[in-house]
A and B are shown apart, each in its own frame.
Chain A
Amino acid sequence: MIELRHISKSYRVQHGINVVLDDVSVLFPSNRNIGILGLNGAGKSTLLRIIGNVEPPDSGEIYKDVIVSWPIGFTGGIQPEMTGREGTRFISRIYGADIYDTENFVEEFSELGRYFDMEVKTYSSGMRSRLGFSISMALDFECYLVDEATSVGDRRFREKYRSAFMERKEKSTLIMVSHQASTIIDFCDMAAVLKDGKLVLFDSVEEGMEVYGENISAEKRH
């Protein structure tokens, strides 16, 4: 279970202040996979980073009783000058995992081949997310924060991590951010919609989708 209490976050932009989260209080239950929907720039990624302790909120508190991953996305976390192997070792060191087990798992699972020993800056975005995703799979989190990562990579790999997620559905859950409705439908059984700094939780994906659809058409009218 992850609980957010009165979380606020805003950024200073050129003209004024952009409020991303405005006094958000919400409880994510432990046994559900939650998809967070929102238009581009609504602050979905920021929300995920705050849940993952990457970035501190301006105010409010977060309570967790599960081990949460870092937000797994296109780019996050691995320095461009590191090779895939070095990145894997670094992350497994900071999480206190067995380095060789992790390394072996990632090398096989990511299917990066010789790229595993090349600098991450030479990777395509799909390869990058494959690496990040494979490392996170090796580390056995109770809750995975996924930031659009599932929408990149080729179809075959997408199938692979889809089944990897389904396999561990018993012990770990998912909080996923996407503006692609289809990804959310595939993975999640609960939805939350982020709009104008407010986060509304829906018990089913369908309900969330409906509201999100209204948001989109409202946006188009402007």
Chain B
Amino acid sequence: MEFVKPNLSDALLAICRVNFALMLRETKTRYGRLQIGYIWAFLEPILVISVLSVVFKYIRMREMPGMPLAQFLISGFIPFMLFRDIVTQSMTGVRRNLQLLYFPQVQIMDFFTARTLLEFSTTLVVFPTLVFLVAFTGYENVIVHDILGIFLGLIMISIFGFGIGIGLGALVPLFPSLQIMVQSVYLRPLFFLSGVFFTIDMIPEAVRPYASLNPILQIIEYIRSSYFVTYESTYVDFKYLFFTILGTLLVGLLLQRAFRRYAYRI
């Protein structure tokens, strides 16, 4: 008797198909039923950065060390937004797509990978668009120092977000209230603690070692060091980043492994 054994290339092809289909699917529903839909991916950072620019320029009257203000905010908020969206969408992703598990080739993990890929590729469009906007309106001089470094930073923050996302995504079906808790006790404070609108040199020296334990802050520091030729952070520790991201990913995968079956309550 002969049985069809699934071979690796077929399996990979199936995964690619599913992820592609899910990405197209999610693009349309990225912001729920709001009519503006995908445009919000551009509008949100533009609005936030405009407001923050005004606040910084006229109210707090601060200059950033060696960084034009708008680009300073772009290089902080966009990576943070990427992380935040991957985490929040991962928490709801399973529930949103539950019916699709009806198809054998769709696996829970596909919801997370497709969403992360979608958020990542969205950022690859939004980030340059905003920088071009700044350049074309002549608002600031634009010199981007090291594109590859920025790219690497975005990859790091995506994998970190993915790790946290799959971990929380595994737990949310068990503890639904976790979702609201993460939004208010984790993501919101994180916005203020991750260097979106400060650099680590601007905070008191005594707290810097603790602040730099936050991998998102470090990655944003790294992205800024790559973006601006005039800024070089001394608080980027690649070894630390590598192990925290890897550790998070591992814990996330273990949580998925342990609690995956709770999602199958179709």
Q: Specify whether A and B are partners.
A: yes
Residues of A within 8 A of B (CB): 52-56, 63-65, 68, 70-71, 75-82, 86, 90-91, 93-96
- Specify the main secondary structure of chain B where it touches its partner: helix
Looking at A56, A71, A93, A94, which has the most chain B CB atoms within 10 Å of its CB?
A94
Q: Which of B94-102, B183-191, B194-202, B204-212 contacts A (4 or more CB under 8 A)?
A: B94-102
Say whether B17 contacts A94, CB under 8 Å: yes
- The residue on B at minimum CB distance from A65 is B4
Q: Which of B39-47, B55-63, B82-90, B103-111 contacts A (4 or more CB under 8 A)?
A: B103-111
CA distance A91 to B264 in the complex (A): 20
Contact of B105 among A71, A80, A94 (CB under 8 A): A94
Residues of B within 8 A of A (CB): 2-4, 13-14, 17-18, 20-21, 24-25, 28-29, 33, 97, 99-106, 261, 264, 266
CA distance A68 to B104 in the complex (A): 10
| Min CB gap B174→A, angstroms | 14
* Sample of 20 more A-B contacts, CB < 8 Å, known A64-B4, A81-B29: A54-B101, A55-B264, A56-B261, A63-B3, A64-B3, A70-B103, A71-B102, A76-B102, A77-B102, A77-B103, A78-B99, A79-B99, A79-B100, A80-B99, A86-B25, A90-B24, A94-B14, A94-B18, A94-B105, A95-B105
Q: Which 10 A-B pairs have the closest CB atoms?
A: A53-B104, A93-B21, A77-B102, A76-B102, A63-B3, A94-B21, A79-B99, A94-B18, A70-B103, A90-B21
Residues of A near B261 (CB, < 8 A) are 56
Contact of B100 among A56, A64, A65, A77 (CB under 8 A): A77
CA distance A94 to B106 in the complex (A): 8
Residues of B near A80 (CB, < 8 A) are 99
CA distance A81 to B104 in the complex (A): 21
Residues of B near A75 (CB, < 8 A) are 99
| Min CB gap A118→B, angstroms | 15
Contact of B20 among A55, A65, A93 (CB under 8 A): A93
Say whether A79 contacts B104, CB under 8 Å: no
Known: A79-B97, A81-B29, A96-B17. A65 touches B3 (CB 8 A): yes
| Min CB gap B10→A, angstroms | 10
CA distance A81 to B30 in the complex (A): 13
Residues of B near A82 (CB, < 8 A) are 25
Residues of B near A94 (CB, < 8 A) are 14, 17-18, 21, 103, 105-106
| Min CB gap A14→B, angstroms | 15
| Min CB gap B204→A, angstroms | 49
| Min CB gap B44→A, angstroms | 22
A-B contact pairs, 11 of them (CB 8 A): A54-B102, A64-B4, A65-B2, A65-B3, A78-B99, A80-B99, A81-B33, A82-B25, A93-B21, A94-B18, A94-B106
Contact of B104 among A52, A65, A78 (CB under 8 A): A52
Contact of B99 among A63, A65, A77 (CB under 8 A): A77
CA distance A65 to B6 in the complex (A): 11
Residues of A near B266 (CB, < 8 A) are 54
Looking at B25, B102, B105, which has the most chain A CB atoms within 10 Å of its CB?
B102
Say whether B104 contacts A93, CB under 8 Å: no
- The residue on B at minimum CB distance from A132 is B102
CA distance A91 to B106 in the complex (A): 10
- The residue on A at minimum CB distance from B5 is A63
- The residue on B at minimum CB distance from A91 is B103
CA distance A78 to B17 in the complex (A): 17
- The residue on A at minimum CB distance from B96 is A79
Residues of A near B97 (CB, < 8 A) are 79
Residues of A near B28 (CB, < 8 A) are 86
Residues of A near B105 (CB, < 8 A) are 94-95
- The residue on A at minimum CB distance from B19 is A94
Say whether A76 contacts B99, CB under 8 Å: yes
CA distance A79 to B102 in the complex (A): 10
Residues of B near A78 (CB, < 8 A) are 99
